[in-house]
Chain A
């Protein structure tokens, strides 16, 4: 919380690629005419020969990435907007990357409703759901730029398909760059608590921390846990905090269908049923508007998280 500057995770992605390009010679980057928006352009400027702009053809790009990986010579990062990766190219990713479990990294930007003014066609609130449904797919949703940089390197060093979910909106840096350690599949307890636990992902981790402060003023002690790896989910940690607090809230900039909230509910219903309230988009398409206004209208603010914590605690005490 020391640093209040705001940066988008897509910027961190471009910077991470450019930095890693010097350390690792084994990867190349693909884009689909969105290098300036996904920020792979940052890498492209530094390593023009290692950046393949495929033009506007996401389906082909995913299989080009698969073919590159299939040679065993290189690790490809393929980038476009989340809607064109996890949406448009879902079948290509499923059959061409997921099924053969190829070593392809899909880094999708412009995930979530905070895309803003471009509106519903470009706000992908379903990517976690589609990617989660693919066996063997790893899904990372970083909470800030520090975590993004670490996640990109971790994805590069992991052998297998990875989907990295990135955002367009600049938001606060919440992790300490000097002491941050990324461990694939392990949630991070940001703040402990005994009354309820908030499992948040992406930019909603910051919102969850703000919600915790709001609740603290009312004497409610809520834990905040950053789930950067949505699949495989840190089930042990989820169950541990369900046992400890008995009231769970999930927070994500995604549909409540098929996302983090769904994953947490699936885990808890089989292991430790308890009240769960899900903060997310409730089965609706987005629309144009300023990101902050959209987050408010769709119920994704710190105040919304806090209200859901109160509701979860009320359910527990019933």
Chain B
């Protein structure tokens, strides 16, 4: 990936953040922190990696993305809108009655949402099912999944970890958004899930540890997942929760809270400034 491409992805990532923050602000509720931490990965997957067709969201041969940390819909809906699945304007309807943009992802009525999620631990299992079905049917599409580090407290994640390794689901590439924070505090304080990489290695996964805000590292890890045979891949991505909005960064309080008008204006100002700086 050359500098120009990285710059383009950085801009896309900021645009995802702008959409995510706008959605949460419009709704007056939602989850900005964990949405902002994954926008670089979302930008890479949706604008570089995944074999998808926004005009044909149900295309059977497409790659799939499962947001196992389903509360981060602001980030997901924003990237889907940017990628052309639905009008960006609709982000303003997020969480409102009559909107198809539900608080948590709902696959039947939202173009581009590949799996209904929101109850933690369920998405990664569904991703395993998709990968298993693809293998059984001899299909070469790939399954991407995004988990939270707090989510790993759910026992079902480890059931899925056993399953994916047992069945050699090398068409499954999952991420852990390692931002270190959950609702009640740091993951270390609430329920220590460290060392995540070692745990997945012990479960016989192909584990890659990266900086989740480094596009070259994201690309290298995803490329490696495609070359790895017989094992599922877990990319443990170190991220900053609330990334890109100064007062949300590394702050527990911004897990599930909407900014007020003043805070929203500041977020937009900071993100627009960061985007402008990319051209300097």
Residue ranges of A at the interface with B (Cβ–Cβ < 8 Å): 28, 49-50, 52, 54-55, 57, 59-60, 62-74, 76, 91-92, 95-96, 99-101
Residues of A with C-beta under 8 A to B131: 67
Q: Which of A50, A63, A73 has most B Cβ within 10 Å?
A: A63
Q: Is the CB of B116 within 8 A of A60?
A: no
> When the two chains form their complex, are residues B106 and A100 in contact, meaning their CB atoms are under 8 A apart?
yes
- Asked if residues B119 and A70 are in contact (CB atoms below 8 Å), the reply is no
Asked whether A99 and B116 contact (CB < 8 A) given A55-B163, A60-B125, A63-B126, the answer is yes
Contact with A along B128-166 (1 / 0, CB 8 A): 111111101101000000000000000110011011001
CB-CB under 8 A from B167, the residues of chain A are: 52
Tell me if B280 counts as interface (CB < 8 A to partner A).
Answer: no
A101 to B128, CA, bound (A): 19
CB atoms of A64 and B156 under 8 A apart = no
Q: What 10 A-B pairs have minimum CB-CB distances, sorted nearest first?
A: A67-B129, A63-B125, A60-B159, A67-B126, A64-B129, A57-B159, A100-B116, A67-B130, A68-B133, A68-B129
| Closest chain B residue, CB of each to CB of A62 | B125
Interface residues of A, dominant DSSP: helix
Q: B15 near A: Cβ within 8 Å?
A: no
A64-B108 in contact given A57-B162, A59-B159, A99-B116 (Cβ < 8 Å)? no
Q: Known: A60-B163, A99-B116, A100-B107. Contact between A66 and B126, CB under 8 A?
A: yes
Query: Which residue of A50, A52, A70, A73 contacts B126 across the interface (Cβ within 8 Å)?
Result: A70
* A/B interface sample: 10 pairs, CB < 8 A: A59-B156, A60-B160, A60-B163, A63-B122, A64-B132, A64-B163, A66-B122, A67-B133, A72-B58, A74-B133
B160 to chain A, nearest CB (A): 5
**Contacts of A73 on B, CB cut-off 8 Å?**
60, 133-134, 136-137, 139
**B115 proximal to A (CB < 8 A):** yes
Say whether, besides A55-B166, A100-B116, A74 and B127 are in contact (CB < 8 Å): no
B158-178 near A? 1/0 per residue, CB < 8 Å: 011011001100000000000
